[in-house]
Amino acid sequence: MGDLHPEIDEDVRQFIDEQHVFFVATAPLASDGHINLSPKGLESFRVLGPKTVAYLDLTGSGVETIAHLRENARLTVMFCAFTGRPRIVRLYGQGRAIEREDADWEEYSSQFPQYLSARSVVVLEVERVADSCGYGVPLYEYTAERSQLVAWAERKGADGVAQYRAEKNRQSIDGLPGLRH
């Protein structure tokens, strides 16, 4: 049922490219800290190489992933098929968050559509690629991306989004440092 791959091969890459949603999971070092699991979409994921992937992190109410990456870099990304052949792919490795003010922001952010709400690019150096059956995942039909996040950012404008990040994204729910800027 399950397979390990030494890297992201063409078959895994094609599967990833076909998915409309993916999930990211992180955890703090503290045993009483909150584990984070977040769904992502909006054409925000890229395979950059056989052992490197990235996704565009958009402004949200929390900053758990960035805070956990700053503390310990552990990151898992999961894709699961909601149509067609049942399949789950998990990418495990070490991640880092690149913020707008960082020197390599343009290099990475240019790989994605330009969203006003973009706050970081999360880069994952993949150490393990696991492929499993997904027999228990239900079938769903994709109809469209949601428009609310883009509309919210447009209503706020660049200054409003920056103010929101300053107020809501400086630390995690466990008090870990979030965005630096």
10-residue block means of pLDDT along the chain (181 residues)?
91 98 98 97 96 97 96 98 96 97 97 96 98 95 95 96 95 96 82
- In order of their start, the domains of the chain are 3-168 (2.30.110.10)
Residue 137 identity (one-letter amino acid):
V
Alpha-carbon distances of 41 from 13, 38, 70, rounded to whole Å: 16, 10, 23
pLDDT tens, residue by residue, 127-142: 999 999 999 999 999 9
**pTM of the full structure:** 0.96
Tell whether the torsion through CA atoms of 130, 40, 125 and 29 is positive or negative: negative
